[in-house]
Chains A and B, each alone.
Chain A
Amino acid sequence: MYTQALNTAETEDRGLEDAARAAQFQARIDAEERIEPNDWMPAAYRKTLTRQISQHAHSEIVGMLPEGNWITRAPTLRRKAALLAKVQDECGHGLYLYAAAETLGTSREELVDAMLAGKAKYSSIFNYPTLTWADIGTIGWLVDGAAIMNQIPLCRCSYGPYARAMIRVCKEESFHQRQGYEIMLTLCRGSDEQKAMAQDALNRWWWPVLMMFGPPDATSQHSDTSTKWKIKRFSNDELRQKFVDATVPQAQYLGLTIPDPGMTQDADGHWRYSEIDWTEFKQVLAGNGPCNRDRLAARRRAHDEGAWVREAAASYAAKRARRQTAQAAE
């Protein structure tokens, strides 16, 4: 059940009983059982998932901004309708994920406030600007493509509400990637300028997209326990490699060049990419990417400008409830 209302704050027992419960919990995970909101879970499991699911939700919501930027300037009505539907989907994905995160005992309002205060992170990819229409194609093709790579294994995550939310998200996400690839294909079959625009977008997005899979396995700080708890099924580097192997032939079909002159295909057919510039990743995560301040400012503005709507809806509901009570008393 997706209810935080059922999660009455149970004081977690400490000491010996904890060790026994933790062992029992791990045995359930090892047996591929799903953990549900009201089941006992270690505090660290709850904390890790709250962090991960809420960051995932924030990413969906902030991810609406770079694409929303092009809704009014889409080249045709068909493209505009599709982009609008895609941005609506991202909003929906954010809401499924907030609902899943809430089952762990933190309210959506608290989670959103943490993001607005700059205390919670979201995917660094959304701190890059969408300069041309080709960026919208590239985001659908590569950013959503990378997101799908990440999200498919999450459909089997040990935490039930997260896994169920991911199943819904993945079903919808495939339209996103296909519409992006179609935009790229149209540009690549168009004029020289259009093809150059597509290549330029790929050049700018390629490396940030590879960074979406997170730091290399050797330095990732959350991986070990997440793997043990079956939140994570594949390592960052494994998923990144899968993504690169799937994407190179798609780029070749478009006639575009991946901006990595050192890339080679090994004997097993895997495409080996060059060293990723992790200082850029850290800079963007630390708030110094091209659009970090802009994104947060846009979210804060939207939240503040929506305050009167929330207040009006709440006072209308309160007025109706009062009236009903009064009528019942008559």
Chain B
Amino acid sequence: MATPNTPLWEVFIRSRNGLAHKHVGSLHASDATMALQAARDIYTRRGEGLSIWVVPSTAITASDPAEKGMMFEPAESKIYRHPTFYEVPEEVGHM
């Protein structure tokens, strides 16, 4: 008999105080409590984190990689959003 599928979760870990949670991988667990415990055992065996988030993979909506050109085009043409676009005389010093 084929083994039934167990839900998939995405794991996010905050490494040190002040840093954001970062995606580290995924795991299978039947509920949120077991997902948290499994995340601790799989992804923090060497003190990698101070906080864990687990999110059902099905809850994530992702942008379509095939449309990334169109999706991110608005930012590409706007170099005036970067500080280096503006000229400040050297005499003024660091700004």
A residues in contact (CB < 8 Å) with B: 1-6, 36, 38-40, 85, 88-89, 92, 95-96, 99, 102, 107-110, 112-113, 164-165, 168, 172, 303, 310, 313-314, 316-317, 320
Contact = CB atoms under 8 A, between A and B. Distances in A.
A92 B45 contact: yes
A124 B4 CA distance: 28
B45 A113 contact: no
A5 B31 contact: no
Contacts of A110: 2
B58 A5 contact: yes
Contact of B4 (A109, A165, A303): A109
Nearest to A164: B25
Contacts of B66: 39-40
- 9 tightest A-B CB contacts, nearest first: A313-B30, A317-B31, A2-B26, A3-B57, A109-B3, A317-B30, A5-B57, A99-B26, A5-B58
Contacts, number: 81
B27 A109 contact: no
Main secondary structure of the interface of A (DSSP, over half): helix
Nearest to B38: A95
B51 to A, nearest CB: 19
B26 A113 contact: no
Nearest to A1: B62
A5 B6 contact: no
Contact of A5 (B8, B45, B65): B8
